[in-house]
Amino acid sequence: MSRITKVFNQLHIDKRVALIPFITAGDPQPNITVPLMHTMVESGADLIELGIPFSDPMADGPIIQRASERALAHGITLHDCIKMVQEFRIQNTVTPVVLMGYLNPIESMGYEIFANSAAESGVDGVLIVDAPPEESSELLTSLRNQFIDPIYLLAPTSTEERIQRICNAASGFVYYVSIKGVTGASHLDIAAVENRLHTIRKFTRLPLGVGFGIHDSATAARLAQIADAVIVGSAIVKRIEELQTQPAAILTAIAKFLDSLRFALNTVTKPNPITILL
């Protein structure tokens, strides 16, 4: 059983909703990433999404685009991201880590080499935005051979046929993009999200995480009533950007923000049931 599955099983028992924060590896400087990962866990993160810096992050809004630019300015590569996970694992062998990024760096490394290196470092899942399952069978095979969960995105515009195809290929959890647009957008319609999650649940027993457009604890708490996980990225990265020359202040600010999110999620008394995955 993967670390991701174990965490969601425990969340089911505890009647809690997962908090999944996103940061970009190496932003705003390489030596803060691992301490920041530990800080996020201490502040209530159940899983961590670690972004692989890329020069053309097409699904990301300007906030996360600038984070990639800052990380790339420090020369951060896919190899560095994997090493950061390996360093994180020295102290933390429990919290799942999902790498999120784009296909080009992985193709350059080679699918099998990437999967082997990621597994050895302690990566639990991989979400590649521009690698749909029907066009990435070789990558999918490499990941599954190393027991790494392939995480896939579903959009508000996904057809039922598409939903079924994605759910059949995914493991760990399914990531629902709550808005039509890039990360950081703000026009979030909770009722529409609830309707879409209801449709998706007809095709999978996997936990459903919701991301894009979540800026505050109030929105997180509302989503916690209908989702199995709340994924927060741009709101975290924005705080990092504002304090990019003050590493200590970044750790304090992110801890405070995640504490508020965790508290809000914990106030939800009747989260949507999560199916235990054996």
Contact, 28 vs 241, CB < 8 A?
A: yes
List the catalytic residue out of 49, 124, 149, 228: 49
Q: Decide: 30 and 77 in contact? Cβ < 8 Å.
A: no
**How many Cα atoms are found within 13 Å in the side-chain-facing hemisphere of 257?**
24
DSSP one-letter code for 245: T
- How many Cβ atoms sit within 10 Å of the Cβ of residue 252? 13
Whether 169 and 133 have beta carbons less than 8 Å apart is answered as yes
Cis peptide before 30 (omega within 30 of 0): no
Q: Which of 117, 120, 128, 33 is nearest to 71 (CA)?
A: 33
Report the alpha-carbon distance of residue 91 to residue 114 in Å, rounded. Answer: 23
From the list 14, 42, 56, 60, the catalytic residue is: 60
Please, what's the largest Cα pairwise distance for the chain? 48
Instruction: Work out the burial of residue 50: count CB atoms within 10 Å of its CB; fewer than 13 is exposed, 13-18 middle, 19 or more buried.
Output: buried
DSSP 121-175: HT--EEEETT--GGG-HHHHHHHHHTTPEEPEEE-TT--HHHHHHHHHH--S-EE
Active site residue 149: no
3-state secondary structure of 230: strand
124 has catalytic annotation: no
Catalytic site positions: 49, 60
